[in-house]
Amino acid sequence: MTRSTLVTLCFLVIATCVSATRPQPVLKIAPVFEEPQSGCTPSQVHIALGRDATEMHVSWKTASANCPSELIFRQALASDDQQLLAGAPGVTNAVGYAFLLSERDMCSEPAASNEFMLYLHRAKMTNLAPSTEYEYQVVGSSTVHRLRSGLEPHPEHSFTFLAFGDMGDAVHAAAKSPGAADTLMRLEQEVDAERDPASLILHIGDISYANGDPEIWDSFMDGIQPVASRVPYMVGIGNHEYGYRKGSGAMVDPSGAAGPYQPSWGNFGPDSKGECGAMTARRFHMPEHPGQDPLGRPVYDPPFAAGTDAGSSAGVGANAGRRVRANAPFWYSFEYGSVHFTVISTENDLSSGSSQHAWLQEDLAAVDRCATPWLVVLLHRPLYVVYPHKSNREVGIHLRASIEDLLQQHRVDLTVAGHVHSYYRTCPVYDEKCIPGYEDASEDGDDYFYRSSNSSSSSSSSRTTVGGVEDGAGSGSSSSSSGYGCDGNGRCSHGIVHFVIGSAGHKLSEVERGQEEWLAAGVQRYGLGRFRVEGRDRLIAEYVGSDSGRVLDSVEVSATAERQAMCRKD
């Protein structure tokens, strides 16, 4: 029996054991220091942020099992001439681990019956200097990649990030996602931009629409490598990553849930065709926290009540001092420059008393608004939904009942969601009411829909300022006991701007023109969100068309006085 056969058998034994029990810490496989075989050429290379700006995770796939899980890296040279790093001066080795992903990790049919084996690898670059160019090479590859390390928290840091959902694969699922190819090209152009290039990508659910098909996942991962190998590609969970059939697969659900979340009031179903988040959780390594194994899976302690010390552990970085654990990629947070990003899962229970809600409370309360003044929440299903999406609007109502007060209490600046296959944004809003003094401008046309009571003939490229309140607006007796920045008449001086960007590739949704008063602008074109953070109080949000690169909507979000007051220095 050959060595390669033995390793493959070991992988199968591990996978069988894991499928029969709750997820356990993965077996780390020592790297094999041999001349790489033909099946050891790395593919699907992509990076993600670590716990802080000194770390970067690199993930990739090989066709064979008997391959090294290793990379080498160094600070980039001034020259753009990228030569092989093996034997070069100043090179650091990072040895990681490999693991098997197969149908045994899926929760229900058809994903659980579609036999496949994927050999995945991860390694972590450490001791990086923040905001510094590095070059790295995965062992077995002749390609030298280049990246910039993360930005450490600081209120005056400026940077650009891209955010969107619902893209899909541009090759095997092109009929379902006709806009994906243009969005992929737009991502490359945004990362390559000479001025303010994007340094962070956030894909908030409905990632590949693979529906349990590993070939579609492979095609998607191949497609994003040109950008994801250079810029951190951070993800959230959507219904097409998680939903699976009731009564099956809970023992391998990587979120640790006892079963799929399918409340009677929502349109939740087996939309992932049995993946239950396993494809996403294993392929994408989001910042791990104490209480998770190297694959990001929860390490289960005896049950504990949310908000108590039992079963908890102190965190580090964005998780410092927490008693309730993060659960990446389902819910987690990280800091980048002047922004604290909080990612939550609308596919898991968010109601009061749930473990995710308890974590969200602690995460928002722990944000240092002096170090990271901007607070951005990312989720797949939106809190505010346009017509005629009746079932999605019902879900939005329940989501608002669960978390809107909490987001308002902690003066969240904006949310970014997907799910509805369109682009739109709200006014700065709380409890379905725009804050006083808000004004906006929108353009008429075949691609635009908007609330007519707040529109004008201004062009779409004109910029509107939202967030800051006009002098005197919102004045009155403050209801400080509520903590929501509202007076006795329900007039609030802080509102959250909600961006819905579910238009990165999947077929666009039908949207009516008659909408609620909170709708500020909307566009029925494929595109992505480009957000330019400029220090502590100014953020420029633009919706960029995938095919043309034209700015189809632009708004300046400025910090409200309520939010600025969250930073109180003694």
pLDDT string in tens for the chain (570-residue length) = 554 455 455 544 444 443 443 333 333 333 333 444 579 999 999 999 999 999 999 999 999 999 999 999 999 987 655 566 766 777 999 999 999 999 999 999 999 999 999 999 999 999 999 999 999 999 999 999 999 999 999 999 999 999 999 999 999 888 899 999 999 999 999 999 999 999 999 999 999 999 999 999 999 999 999 999 999 999 999 999 999 998 777 789 999 999 999 999 999 999 999 999 999 999 999 997 555 565 555 554 332 333 332 223 334 444 445 567 899 999 999 999 999 999 999 999 999 999 999 999 999 999 999 999 999 999 999 999 998 888 999 999 999 999 999 999 999 999 999 999 999 999 999 999 998 877 665 555 556 555 333 333 333 445 666 665 332 223 232 333 345 767 766 678 899 999 999 999 999 998 887 788 899 999 999 999 999 999 999 999 999 999 999 999 999 999 999 999 999 753
Helices 214-228 and 180-192 pack at an angle, to 10 degrees, of: 20
Residue 193 lies in a domain: yes
Residue 7 lies in a domain: no
Secondary structure class of 550 (helix, strand, coil)? coil
CB atoms within 10 A of CB 322: 22
CATH code of the domain covering residue 343: 3.60.21.10
Domain that holds residue 269: 161-570
Domain count, the chain: 1
SS3 content of the chain, % helix, strand, coil (to 5): 20, 25, 55
Pairing mode, if any, of strands 158-164 and 200-204? parallel
Beta-ladder partners of 531 = 161, 541
CA-closest candidate to residue 184, choices 240, 228, 234: 228
Residue 110 lies in a domain: no
Query: For residue 439, what are the contacts with CB-CB under 8 A and spacing of at least 6?
Result: 454, 464
Q: Rounded to whole angstroms, how far apart are CA atoms 150 and 346?
A: 27
Residue 153 lies in a domain: no
- Tell me the pTM: 0.85
Residue 515 lies in a domain: yes
